[in-house]
Chain A
Amino acid sequence: MSLSAQLPALQVVVPLASAPLVTLLRVANLPWLVALAASATAFAISIALTGQVLPGTTITYDLGGWPAPYGIVFVIDQLSCVMMLIVTGASTAALAFGKMSLDLQIGTVRAPYFYAAWLLALAGLVGISITGDAFNIFVFMEISSLASYVLIGSGPDRRALTATFKYLTLGTIGATFYLIGVGLIYMMTGTLNLADMASRVGDVSDLRPVLAAAGFVTIGLALKAAIFPLHVWMPNAYTFAPHIVSVFLAACATKVSLYVLIRFDSAVFAPNLAGHDIRFSGFLTVVSILAVLIGSTVAVFENNLKRLLGYSSVAQIGYILLGVSFLSLTGMTAGVVHLFNHALIKAALFMAVACIAYRLGTVRLNEVAGCGKIMPWTMAAFVAAGLSLIGVPGTAGFVSKWYLLQAALDHGPVGYAIAAVILVSSVLAVIYVWKVIEWAYFREFTETSREAGEAPVTMLIFTWAMVLANFYFGIFTELPLGLAESSAKILLGAGL
């Protein structure tokens, strides 16, 4: 077998194998360099795989040569590609961007372990995106979760520890719920392979355990994905994590769980449980509307920049779910494309915030007041990414909103109400983005922040690269939309 045939496995193996290697490196900068190299390799592999999958083929890779349903398989279709690109891209960008900030917040002593944890998180998240085995998802999920507990817990503030503890308990409950669900289905079907499961659930005589399984899986993953009202762990975890970890995790961690939720439901439950899709979509509609409204409203009143962005993420996850809940091609496309676009938006925003924090040492609005005057490039990046968050035309955020509204208006009277909710939430987004702008530009900066200057050039370059990506994908939409549309067809074709 040629190397290119092994790409799916390498995608996971490269970061996984680099992790223990990194712990052995005691030379300054080397751990970071190896982590970056591994992450960049993974990113390159996912681009190569996307290239292979783009025409519509699905890659199936039997781990260890054991064919499905006996062995574990990696299945890579367009939807997996979206996730892979988000995960590996965010990790690479965050690492390349954040060297100086990480040196400041992590230090050289802890660096080898920190980067090892980073690579494990990366391996886990990529693994979830491509595996076709329900139990394997659990294993990867726990690898990534355990590693991200470590990442978040290495934040310099002591509240990082309590935030991590909360995340750890709730995250474990979520994963265990998922495990119970998978166990119940295994009991009824005797298989763990997702595709095999999908075809066998139909033959099960008593569907009640499967119904219970649907409940456990949905709630467990909703907890992991920080879907309102199960989001309580998330804002604090993002707030007190090291800034660069926030960039990485905000862009992709919850989305991967969201991905599993959507994929599981569309593959296993929707085609086999009568009326499931309606119930599922009803459930999603309600929670996502609440998420959108409450997340945005809390963000309006929040005075800590990172937590503000965290609550904004709660609302944005709501957008993604709203799109999915319409059960239509446009809606599903909107959901998947927003997975992608929101990763771009939040990565750019958290990068700008990391720049501010690097210079000013704080992310509280009243303490960074006036920073627009001393960090013009950084704040300009924040404003530009904020526009994308609001959904101004010409930005990536607009493309998501365009499809989302289209799906809503196509959905009858209920859709009109949902469209109104989306629009109200966009206005709330204007308010909370503008609140930051007013603090940054209309206040005099305080004594403590007077010494600070513009962020380092390397950090600015990557921040702006991410911002420009927001504009690029707001105008040249072919790649994300193409992937999203075929993903939507995959998800709907399976019945959802």
Chain B
Amino acid sequence: MIETLGLYNYWVFSLLLVIGLFAIVGKKNLIKKLIGLSIFQAAVFLLYISMDKVTGGTAPILLADADTRVFSNPLPQVLILTAIVVGISTTALGLALVVRIREEYGSIENDVIRTMDPDT
């Protein structure tokens, strides 16, 4: 029980993942869909950051007493920096698309758009 609770950041990860997915699928508003997408991606950031945490570990900086120190794994942090950049790009592109859609359709509600162009 305690062990299961101790993995709380993984629980949060799963929760965020599902919330994000729900927003993408369930919301009609395109901006809300994008927010869902961001939450969804943030969940994965949390997953990576959680896994690199070493209890009692510090930032991995090479000091004189490096042999005796415990470090957190730097690699997932680097990876997730990349993923964050990807996430930002995606959100930015998505928002740009929403702007264009609003220009063309005058709406950002999916069901309104669908009535204007049935085969989308």
Contact = CB atoms under 8 A, between A and B. Distances in A.
Q: Answer yes or no: do A and B interact.
A: yes
B120 interface: yes
Contacts of A166: 120
Contacts of B98: 165
A414 interface: no
A393 B93 CA distance: 45
Interface in A111-157: 135, 138-139, 142, 146, 149-150, 153
Interface in A163-193: 163-166, 168-169, 172-173, 175-176, 179-180, 183, 186-187, 192
A153 B40 CA distance: 23
A163 B119 CA distance: 10
A373 interface: no
B93 A168 contact: yes
Contacts of B105: 158
A411 interface: no
A161 interface: yes
Given A135-B79, A153-B97, A183-B51, A158 B44 contact: no
A4 to B, nearest CB: 30
A180 B83 CA distance: 11
Contacts of B17: 180
Contacts of B86: 138-139, 142, 146, 175
A149 B89 CA distance: 11
B97 A164 contact: yes
Q: Is the interface of B mostly helix, strand, loop or mixed?
A: helix
Of the listed residues B21, B30, B93, the one surrounded by the most CB atoms of chain A closer than 10 A to its CB is B93
Interface in B50-106: 51, 76, 79, 82-83, 86, 89-90, 93-94, 97-98, 100-101, 104-105
Contacts of B93: 146, 149-150, 168
Contacts, number: 78
B101 A161 contact: yes
A158 B98 CA distance: 12
Contact of B120 (A162, A180, A183, A192): A162
Interface residues of B, number: 32
Contacts of B94: 165, 168-169
B85 to A, nearest CB: 9
A179 B117 contact: no
Given A180-B44, A183-B44, A173 B21 contact: yes
B40 to A, nearest CB: 6
Contact of A176 (B41, B51, B101, B120): B41
B24 A169 contact: yes
A166 B86 CA distance: 18
Contact of B97 (A161, A176, A192): A161
Nearest to B51: A187
A405 to B, nearest CB: 35
A317 B28 CA distance: 31
B76 A186 contact: yes
Of the listed residues A135, A175, A179, the one surrounded by the most CB atoms of chain B closer than 10 A to its CB is A179
B76 to A, nearest CB: 7
B22 to A, nearest CB: 12
Contact of B100 (A138, A161, A183, A186): A161
24 contacts: A135-B82, A142-B89, A146-B89, A150-B93, A153-B97, A159-B120, A161-B100, A162-B101, A162-B120, A165-B97, A168-B93, A169-B34, A169-B37, A172-B40, A172-B41, A173-B21, A173-B37, A179-B83, A180-B17, A180-B44, A183-B48, A183-B51, A187-B51, A192-B79
Given A175-B86, A192-B79, A236-B120, 11 more contacts: A158-B104, A158-B117, A161-B97, A162-B120, A168-B90, A168-B93, A168-B94, A172-B40, A173-B21, A176-B41, A183-B76
Interface of A: 135, 138-139, 142, 146, 149-150, 153, 158-159, 161-166, 168-169, 172-173, 175-176, 179-180, 183, 186-187, 192, 236
A-B pairs, 8 with minimum CB distance: A158-B104, A162-B120, A142-B86, A187-B51, A161-B101, A165-B97, A159-B120, A161-B100
Interface of B: 17, 21, 24, 30, 33-34, 37, 40-41, 44, 47-48, 51, 76, 79, 82-83, 86, 89-90, 93-94, 97-98, 100-101, 104-105, 113, 117, 119-120
